[in-house]
Copies of this chain bind each other. A is one copy, B any other.
């Protein structure tokens, strides 16, 4: 079996069933690695996920012991610094799988579902245990197994398929991983009720009974995840109710069982008329949720994407994350490289998360969630190096201050037997990979120049006259959207000091310039370079770097099958980068008429 960063650790025992609890597993993992009795495990239940390491004693809660042991193992095998004590910043560290029961994975780039096929549960228990072990090794403790767009028969996960859900939960439990399920807000209709109105007493009673049945079968279920009133999904708006009404309905049903209700804040008008310049999709989440701050039950978590749009290469922080003072929030990021190269192009995310966490007030953030990049491919992640994103998300959702460089270095040391120089070379490419991708596929904060539907490769006007609210309005003179008060007013959703920084093109970071401003091609950037020339320069440089990266990565002694997978993908990435370079440069050259100052080839 392909084991990613756990390849240097012994296999799980074939007779696994003796290990029932995380603390059992902690003892087993330790015993495989260290001579018996050299370390002592001391359980202190109140520590929960936390642990202390002192001398040869690891003290921790039921799960804390397991995380403590993994910290020790990563230290010994991967050279990680060993903390004297540690507890996670966020109680919930979640993976969201967008797996459908037909076996497909929405925005999945690593093969079909690990859980489902043909409308049924269909999994290899050994692979599920290995996944759970990977999660435990980096402190991840919740996995939502089904797509937030709940298509039949996935509704049945909290009805007729509960026994199967329970069997799957049993597999994850010893690893300290709890299941979560995405539920369909209109589920009561499926079960014969005439309405799903959150204020209807029968609906409330129905959800209470349903929660009771669910927790009878899966007593430690983490809770429900809901995407409502979004992109065609049903929701409380159908009944003229607010999203607080909707979320509280489910939260109250879950509360007696300690369950959490995670409500995704992804609501916008996905039928916008491109001619309408007043509406700004970026404003939608804030407008919908901010007025509801303080109205949610305390077991509700609002899950907010990092940016106001949808996991683009470069977005400013979602203003909603900065403005909900009386509500629990989860930050949502996306490991699946939907818009960022689809696990073909190398795109290591730790630097991105570092930026996000840096700007994010931590007080009311109680969870971190990542859309999964998992699939049934032998290596789970498609691109062998994409595993580092899953790994790094674990470390950084445990400790948002964790260094991206350290996370990547640790992953490399665990995964490959490289010399220090080789490891360092790989680390540098991984750490710069996001910037390289942005050079060829990003445009100073302009989003959505990507191919519609597939979301791979360039299509500068693919969304321009469509109904998704994602426009750049590039003309012969200028490009970008004015989101200041003189434009759509989006900027006023930010706290004053951030709004001030973004409002003035002189202080707005170059890489967000065209997100916030409409500017002429001649506009001088911070270094004096005209905007149009920077667009050209970036795209030439990005393609050049992708080509260089291919040469250098393929020179590294990766073992097979990784070597072949990486070479094949790096070659595709080089082509993709060249295509981005040429399409975007031609697009702007046709519009602006400005030649490249350095006379490089721009196609007519």
> Do A476 and B593 touch (CB < 8 A)?
yes
Given contacts A277-B604, A582-B275, A603-B275, contact A590 B475 (CB under 8 A): yes
| C-alpha spacing A591/B477, complex, angstroms | 9
- The listed residue (B274, B474, B475) touching A593 by CB distance below 8 A is B475
Q: Is A523 an interface residue (CB 8 A)?
A: no
* A473 CB-CB contact with B under 8 Å: yes
The answer to whether A473 and B275 touch across the interface, beta carbons within 8 angstroms, is no
**C-alpha gap A207/B590 in the complex (Å):** 53
Cα A597 to Cα B459 in complex, Å, equals 31
Q: How far is the CA of A426 from the CA of B123 in the complex (A)?
A: 63
In whole angstroms, what is the CA distance A464 to B464 when docked? 14
Pick from A465, A582, A587, A603 the residue with the most CB of B within 10 Å.
Answer: A465
Alpha-carbon gap, A459 to B461, bound state (A) = 9
Q: Size range of the interface on A?
A: 20 to 34
6 A–B pairs (Cβ distance < 8 Å), ordered by A: A459-B465, A460-B465, A462-B462, A473-B604, A475-B604, A590-B591
- Known: A460-B461, A465-B459, A604-B473. Contact between A591 and B593, CB under 8 A? no
**Contact between A476 and B473, CB atoms less than 8 A apart:** no
Q: In A458-482, which residues have CB < 8 Å from any B CB?
A: 458-462, 464-465, 473-477
**A584 closest partner in B (C-beta):** B465
Could you tell me the dominant secondary structure of chain A's interface residues?
loop
Q: Which residues of B contact A458 (CB under 8 A)?
A: 465
Q: Is A195 an interface residue (CB 8 A)?
A: no
Is A210 interfacial (CB 8 A cutoff)? no
- A111 to B591 Cα, complex, angstroms: 42
- A459 and B466 alpha carbons, distance in the complex (Å): 9
- Give the shortest distance, in Å, between A584 (CB) and chain B (any CB): 9
B590 and A474 contact, CB distance less than 8 A: yes
Q: Map CB proximity to B onto A255-279 as digits: 1 under 8 Å, 0 otherwise.
A: 0000000000000000000110100
Q: Which A residues have a C-beta under 8 Å from some C-beta of B?
A: 274-275, 277, 458-462, 464-465, 473-477, 582-583, 586-587, 589-593, 603-604
Within the assembled complex, what's the spacing in Å between the Cα atoms of A461 and B477? 19
Chain B residues closer than 8 Å to A476, beta-carbon distance: 476, 590-593
A586 to B475, CA, bound (A): 9
* CB-nearest residue of chain B to A603: B275
Q: Which residue of B lies closest to A476 (CB)?
A: B476
Min distance, Cβ A278 to any Cβ of chain B, angstroms: 12
Known: A459-B465, A476-B593, A591-B591. 13 other contacts (CB 8 A): A274-B603, A277-B604, A461-B464, A462-B462, A465-B586, A465-B587, A473-B590, A473-B604, A475-B589, A475-B590, A476-B476, A476-B591, A477-B593
Chain B contacts for A275, CB-based, 8 A: 582, 603
List the B side residues contacting A589 at CB < 8 Å: 475
* Complex contact B593–A465 (CB within 8 A): no
Taking the nearest CB of chain B, how far is it from the CB of A305, in angstroms?
Answer: 28
User: Cα distance A74–B24 when bound, in Å?
Assistant: 90
Give chain B nearest CB distance to A110 CB in angstroms. 26
Q: Which residues of B contact A587 (CB under 8 A)?
A: 465
Instruction: Give CA–CA (A604, B474) in the complex, Å.
Output: 9
Q: How far is the CB of A67 from chain B (nearest CB, A)?
A: 49
Report the Cα distance A277→B603, complex, angstroms. Answer: 9
Give bound CA distance, A589 to B591, whole Å: 11
Closest beta carbon of chain B to A586's beta carbon, Å: 8
A591 nearest in chain B by CB position: B476
**What is the bound-complex CA distance between A465 and B593, given in angstroms?**
18
Q: How far is the CA of A473 from the CA of B465 in the complex (A)?
A: 18
A458 CA to B475 CA, complexed, in Å: 18
CB distance from A591 to the nearest CB of B (A): 6
- Complex: chain B residue closest to A594, CB-CB: B476
Query: CB-nearest residue of chain B relative to A601?
Result: B275
Kindly state the separation between the CA atoms of A603 and B603 in the bound complex, as whole angstroms: 28
A582 and B276 alpha carbons, distance in the complex (Å): 12
Write the chain B residue with the least CB distance to A459: B465
Residues of B near A473 (CB, < 8 A) are 590, 604
Assembled-state Cα–Cα distance A505/B297 (Å): 72
Q: How far is the CA of A604 from the CA of B479 in the complex (A)?
A: 11
Shortest beta-carbon distance from A515 to chain B in Å: 18
Q: How far is the CB of A312 from chain B (nearest CB, A)?
A: 20
Q: Which residues of B contact A604 (CB under 8 A)?
A: 277, 473, 475
A313 to B: closest C-beta gap in Å: 19
Query: A476 vs B475: C-alpha distance in the bound complex, in angstroms?
Result: 9
Report B-chain residues with C-beta under 8 Å of the C-beta of A464.
461
Q: Which residues of B contact A474 (CB under 8 A)?
A: 590
A474 vs B582: C-alpha distance when bound (angstroms): 16
- A477 proximity list for chain B (CB < 8 A): 593
Considering the complex, give the chain B residue whose CB is closest to the CB of A458.
Answer: B465
Residue of B nearest to A583 (CB): B465
- How far, in Å, is A497 (CB) from chain B's closest CB? 31
B-chain residues with CB within 8 Å of residue A603 when the two chains form the complex: 274-275
- Bound-state Cα–Cα, A69 to B37, Å: 105
Q: Report chain B residues within 8 Å CB of A459.
A: 465
- When distances are taken between beta carbons in the complex, the residues of chain B under 8 Å from A465 are 458-460, 583, 586-587
Q: How far is the CA of A464 from the CA of B458 in the complex (A)?
A: 11
Closest to A462 in B: B462
Write out the residue numbers on chain B whose beta carbons fall within 8 Å of the beta carbon of A274: 583, 603
Give complex CA distance A591, B593 in Å. Answer: 10
CB-defined contacts of A586 to chain B, threshold 8 Å: 465
CA gap between A462 and B462 in the complex, in Å: 6
Alpha-carbon distance between A476 and B464 when the two chains are bound, in angstroms:
17
CA distance A586 to B473 in the complex (A): 10
